[in-house]
Amino acid sequence: MAVPRLNRVISGLAAGQHVFASFAPADPAVAVEFSTTDYDALVFETEHKPWDVPALRDSLQYLLNRRQIFAADSLSASVTPLVRVPTNGAEKAQWHAKQALDLGAYGIVWPHITSVEEAYNAVAACRYPTLPDAARHQPAGLRGDSPAAAARYWGLSTTEYYARSGVWPLDPDGEILVVLMIESQRGVENLPDILDQVPGIGLVLPGEGDLSQELGVPRQYDHPRVMESKRRILDACAERGVAVGHPHVTADNVKQVLDDGYRFLMTAPVRSHPGLDLGRTLTGRA
């Protein structure tokens, strides 16, 4: 039986659609909340939150919703889990990617990528090794072999997992997404070379916070200096057919984000308490 695409981010991007995502720490209770939302993906945030492997493992499991999977008649989870690893690109940190992928994550978000070498490592760390004369050998894979837990999480046999665990779009049938965060002027300058020389980059995500810090305008995402850097990222990716994500989408800016050409839209998880708000208003405590 043919297994349809499992990674909803990849299926959306490949179809030219917009993909909607959010982010959260690795926490089972949070994962349960997200499991019934309409997001396409959830990025488990471990760069600025703890790298807690048991919590990440449990969160991946709690993100699965058996009722939705049954109703959809598909192995594809309704919300695709990605993991932002804690270390900067120059630190390489292949082991973080290996552990996240071995638990069943469908992609890795790499912070602070600034060079061709760092981007090459990001893709290589997510690929199993192949013979030098194999098709699509480069970037030469560095991922260690321990697929059992990931295969079980995906609902596949080990053999099926091997066949589907390539990095997309380098492997057209691959289910692993490599996301590069460009968060510095050096990264912006080197992005055209990165995209030209490193195959397998599925998505680029501007790091507005760190870009704005470096440009002397912290958290001023609409400042002309920050906007210019983001436009350079968008232009470089558009010329090469690589999707770009926006990390701070709100109800106020979403139309502009779409007009600018972003395809992967990340919104902060917002919790509302309408009963509390109305009760406080009615009792004069608002």
Domains defined along the chain, listed by start: 8-282 (3.20.20.60)
Lowest mean pLDDT among 4-18, 205-219, 244-258, 264-278: 264-278
Is residue 232 pLDDT above 60, yes or no?
Answer: yes
pLDDT band of residue 141 (cuts 50, 70, 90) is: very high
Whole-model pTM: value is 0.94
37, 10, 15: which is closest to 270 by C-alpha?
37
* Nearby residues of 5 by Cβ (< 8 Å), 6 or more positions away: 11, 14, 76, 175
Nearest to 27 by CA among 40, 42, 44, 39: 44
- Determine the pLDDT at residue 1: 47
Chain mean pLDDT for the chain: 95
pLDDT at 165: 98
Residue 184 in this model has a pLDDT that exceeds 90: yes
Farthest CA pair distance, the chain:
74
pLDDT of residue 210: 97
For residue 117, pLDDT beyond 90: yes
Give the model's confidence band at 272: pLDDT under 50 very low, under 70 low, under 90 confident, else very high.
confident
pLDDT tens sequence across 58-109: 999 999 988 888 887 778 888 999 999 999 999 998 999 999 999 999 999 9
Give backbone dihedrals phi and psi of 42, rounded to 5 degrees, phi first: -130, 125
Mean pLDDT value across residues 149-162: 96
Is a pLDDT exceeding 50 seen at residue 203? yes
Percent of the residues in the chain that have a pLDDT greater than 70, as a whole number = 99
Helical pair 185-197 and 224-240, crossing angle rounded to 10 deg: 0
**CA-to-CA distance for 44 and 65, rounded, in angstroms?**
17
Strand partners, 249: 267
Q: What's the confidence (pLDDT) of residue 3?
A: 66
Q: For the ranges 3-17, 59-73, 149-163, which has the lowest average pLDDT?
A: 59-73
What's the CA gap between 12 and 257, in Å, rounded?
17
235-269 pLDDT tens trace? 999 999 999 999 999 999 999 999 999 999 999 98
